[in-house]
């Protein structure tokens, strides 16, 4: 069947087709015990080091992290977590990497981002596509903290629209590349020793394309003098512009082939996004622990504030929601560890929901702490400043919502087109007919569209997920029929569709995780997890149905009109009082 190859390549894209490839997500993936032990050792060494040497408040005030910290962390092993052991790294899986990063994220934002820029995106391309020679030349110093890496994609005129970068590399007769341009908001920009830089280039056939280059500190014309940006948070992250003035980059510093640049950038970012998602989950856990501690010890009106109805409502929701996000984040790292190549949608989902959630959690934890939460000697203010950028960098969340929806819907569009059912290049008016819609419905019936591997005790929840997946497929078809190619402009629909897809993925993750818990510990002993799973899945199922229904019944047209009126007025325009 045309859809199956696509479907098996990505679990979540298959959901959009109405298929549940449960073999990819059951049993719930867990790291093997040898790695788990190594991870525990790394976390414990890191915590011990951080307790004695990392003062988050001081980093915030002085705006720097000393080079020695990176070297010390290199000695502990946390500067090259996934790098092969033969290059001085720890050789961890994606799951192991994420687990250690949770611990780092709980200590200090600037340190986390400096290490995240270094590993999640800075040296990632060398690990993924570097030649043996490049790995040997760069990784040992980077993995041990003797050198620091960075990632330079964003430019003054190319932020979300990363394809449209203007920095240019021109090949010289001796094979080197002459690099010119400017990058902005580059983490580790002023101090990075090796930067993965993306530029436009002309291919031998004259086609305009992208190239990824390794630019090294000290190369003539490589300007790292900044100045550093003044930022709201992450004060210790050396965020700078970097400039390239006729920098000669030797051919041995080209990553992959000329023309691979954009693909490499996206591959790295897919990887970075899951790191930010799992890191956000880690920080959210710390914040929730702070809240639980506060509400169970702070007494007002003669009782612990945690006993008030509205506080229990929040804590209960946070625990169940975090359980689901954690399940989804580690299901995704597990998919990566299984060797699934296409996890771009899953990682974007984890980035969006993780970063939105940790922002909510930080704000809510401050609120639960009351007046105390507003005091600067408490952790909340700095954390809020530090994480405000999370929903913006590594792909702004609204851009990623569009990416999630459109990428997930693409195979469905292709399938419908293959069937002659839909011509996405046709004007909208010619799309869809009753006959072809009926064909779509028949096809849906023969696809694997239910979960059979969930524990029988979770059968009811699993069967509801099956219903939602059918609804997703129907809603996707409806969108494609209604809008045709103009679907690319339907941002409000992208948001709804991506939220529904995320909620379905989260339920699958919870069912898989709790099935494994039941099998490991028995159903009787796992009552709490079952209760949390039921609570999350029931609420999520309700959201999915409501969100998908709103794809058709909404007041989007009114929002367009009001916004356009406001643009025309150039201001709010309806003030009750004249100034
Ligand atoms: S680093 C810079 C961040 N910048 C971005 O993330 C850029 C955002 N923009 C984009 O991603 C792209 O431009 C988008 C679309 C997605 C908007 N995987 O025509 P297209 C393929 C695989 O749609 P565009 C930073 O912030 C696509 O299929 N492939 O392209 C520092 C197509 O291929 P084909 C992909 O509209 C943060 C082709 O590309 C992907 O231009 C520091 C063109 O597609 C993808 N994702 O792009 C963070 N996207 O033609 C530190 C597109 O074959 C983190 N394609 O179909 C630290 C972590 C630690 C955590 C701690 C927490 C406490």
Question: Which among 269, 348, 353 is the best mutation to test ligand 1's pocket, defined by most ligand atoms within 8 Å of the CB?
Answer: 269
Tell me which H or E stretch contains 150: strand 149-152
The atom of ligand 1 lying closest to the CA of 105 is: 63
**CA 341 / ligand 1 centre spacing (Å):** 15
Using alpha carbons, list the distances in angstroms from residue 404 to 10, 316, 353, 494, 497: 12, 29, 12, 8, 9
> Cα–Cα distance between 410 and 101 in angstroms, integer?
33
Nearest CA to ligand 1 atom 42: 117
Q: CA–CA separation, 345 vs 575, rounded Å?
A: 43
Task: Give, using CA atoms, the residue closest to atom 19 of ligand 1.
Answer: 163
Span 399-424, mean pLDDT?
84
pLDDT-based confidence at residue 438 (cuts at 50, 70, 90): very low
Q: Is the peptide bond before 227 cis (omega within 30 degrees of 0)?
A: yes
Which part of the chain has CATH 2.40.110.10?
149-259
Q: Is the CB of 117 under 6 A from ligand 1?
A: yes
pLDDT surpasses 60 at 4: no
Average of pLDDT values for 248-267? 98
Q: Which atom of ligand 1 is nearest to the CA of 164?
A: 41
Instruction: Check pocket membership of 272 for ligand 1, CB cut-off 6 A.
Output: yes
Q: Which residues are catalytic?
A: 394
Q: Any residues with CB less than 8 A from the CB of 393 and at least 6 apart, and which?
A: 185
User: In which residue ranges of the chain is CATH 1.10.540.10 found?
Assistant: 33-143
Query: Which is more confident, 2 or 369?
Result: 369
What's the CATH class of domain 265-395?
mainly alpha
Share of the chain above pLDDT 90, in %: 90
Assess whether the C-beta atom of 395 lies below 6 angstroms from ligand 1. yes
Q: What is the model's pLDDT at position 446?
A: 46
Instruction: Please work out whether the CB of residue 162 comes within 6 Å of at least one atom of ligand 1.
Output: yes
- CATH number, span 33-143: 1.10.540.10
* Residue 3 pLDDT greater than 80, yes or no: no
Query: Which of the following CATH numbers is that of domain 149-259: 3.90.550.10, 1.10.3720.10, 3.40.50.300, 2.40.110.10?
Result: 2.40.110.10
For residue range 83-117, what is the model confidence (pLDDT) as tens digits?
999 999 999 999 999 999 999 999 999 999 999 99
Mean pLDDT of 268-273: 95
The predicted-structure confidence for 136-192, as pLDDT tens digits, reads as follows 999 999 999 999 999 999 999 999 999 999 999 999 999 999 999 999 999 999 999
Q: Are strands 208-216 and 194-202 parallel, antiparallel or unpaired?
A: antiparallel
Lowest mean pLDDT segment, chosen from 246-260, 269-283, 407-421, 521-535? 407-421
Ligand 1 probe mutation, 9, 114, 162, most atoms within 8 A of CB: 162
Alpha-carbon distance of 242 to 505, in angstroms, equals 39
Prediction pTM value: 0.94
CATH topology for 4-9+432-563 is Butyryl-CoA Dehydrogenase, subunit A; domain 3 (1.20.140)
Share of the chain above pLDDT 70, in %: 93
CA of 292 to the centre of ligand 1 (A): 37
Other C-beta atoms closer than 10 Å to the C-beta of 523 total 16
Residue with token string 């195979």 = 411
Ligand 1 center from residue 277 Cα (angstroms): 15
Q: Where in the chain is the domain with CATH 1.20.140.10?
A: 4-9+432-563, 265-395
Residue to probe by mutation, ligand 1, list 382, 394, 398, most atoms within 8 Å of CB: 394
Q: pLDDT tens, 118-131?
A: 999 999 999 999 99
């Amino acid at each position: 069947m045309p859809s199956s190859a696509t479907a098996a390549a990505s679990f979540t894209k298959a959901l959009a087709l109405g298929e549940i490839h449960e073999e990819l997500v059951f049993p719930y993936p867990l790291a093997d015990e040898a790695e788990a032990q190594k991870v525990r050792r790394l976390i414990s060494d890191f915590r011990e080091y951080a307790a004695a040497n990392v003062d988050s408040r001081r980093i915030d005030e002085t705006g720097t992290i000393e080079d020695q910290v990176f070297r010390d962390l290199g000695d502990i092993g946390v500067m090259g977590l996934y790098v092969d052991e033969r290059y001085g790294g720890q050789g961890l899986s994606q799951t192991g990497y994420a687990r250690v990063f949770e611990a780092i994220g709980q200590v200090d934002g600037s340190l986390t981002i400096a290490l995240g820029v270094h590993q999640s995106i800075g040296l990632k391309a060398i690990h993924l596509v570097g030649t043996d020679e490049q790995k040997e030349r760069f990784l040992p110093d980077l993995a041990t903290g003797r050198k620091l890496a960075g990632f330079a994609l964003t430019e003054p005129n190319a932020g979300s629209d990363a394809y449209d970068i203007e920095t240019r590399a021109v090949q010289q007769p001796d094979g080197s590349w002459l690099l010119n341009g400017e990058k902005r908001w580059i983490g580790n920009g002023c101090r990075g020793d090796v930067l993965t830089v993306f530029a436009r280039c002309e291919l031998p056939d004259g086609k305009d394309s992208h190239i990824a280059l390794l630019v090294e500190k000290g190369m003539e014309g490589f300007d790292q003098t900044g100045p550093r940006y003044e930022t709201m948070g992450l004060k210790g992250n050396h965020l700078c512009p970097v400039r390239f003035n006729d920098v000669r980059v030797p051919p041995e510093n080209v990553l992959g082939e000329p023309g691979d640049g954009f693909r490499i950038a996206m591959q790295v970012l897919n990887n970075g996004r899951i790191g930010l998602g799992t890191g956000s989950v880690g920080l959210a856990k710390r914040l929730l622990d702070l809240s639980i501690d506060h509400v169970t010890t702070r007494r007002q009106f003669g009782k612990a504030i945690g006993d008030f109805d509205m506080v229990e409502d929040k804590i209960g929701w946070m625990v169940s929601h975090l359980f689901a996000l954690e399940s989804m984040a580690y299901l995704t790292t597990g998919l990566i560890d299984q060797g699934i190549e296409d996890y771009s949608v899953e990682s974007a989902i984890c980035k969006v929901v993780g970063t939105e959630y940790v922002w909510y959690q930080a704000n809510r934890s401050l609120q639960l702490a009351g007046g105390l939460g507003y005091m600067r000697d408490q952790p909340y203010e700095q954390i809020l400043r530090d994480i405000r950028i999370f929903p913006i960098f590594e792909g702004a969340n609204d851009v990623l919502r569009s990416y999630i929806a459109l990428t997930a819907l693409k195979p469905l569009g292709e399938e419908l087109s293959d069937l002659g059912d839909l011509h996405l290049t046709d004007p909208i008016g010619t799309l869809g007919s009753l006959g072809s819609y009926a064909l779509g419905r028949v096809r849906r019936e023969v696809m694997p569209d239910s979960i059979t591997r969930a524990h029988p005790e979770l059968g009811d929840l699993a069967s509801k997920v099956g219903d939602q997946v059918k609804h997703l497929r129907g809603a996707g078809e409806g969108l494609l029929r209604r809008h045709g190619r103009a679907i690319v402009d339907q941002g409000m629909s992208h948001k709804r569709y991506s939220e529904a897809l995320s909620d379905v993925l989260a339920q699958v993750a919870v069912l898989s995780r709790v099935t494994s818990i039941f099998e490991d510990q028995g159903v009787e002993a796992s009552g709490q997890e079952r209760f949390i799973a039921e609570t999350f899945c029931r609420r999520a199922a309700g959201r999915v149905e409501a969100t998908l229904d709103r794809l058709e019944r909404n007041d989007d047209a009114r929002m367009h009109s009001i916004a356009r009126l406001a643009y025309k007025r150039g201001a709010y325009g309806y003030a009750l009082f004249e100034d």
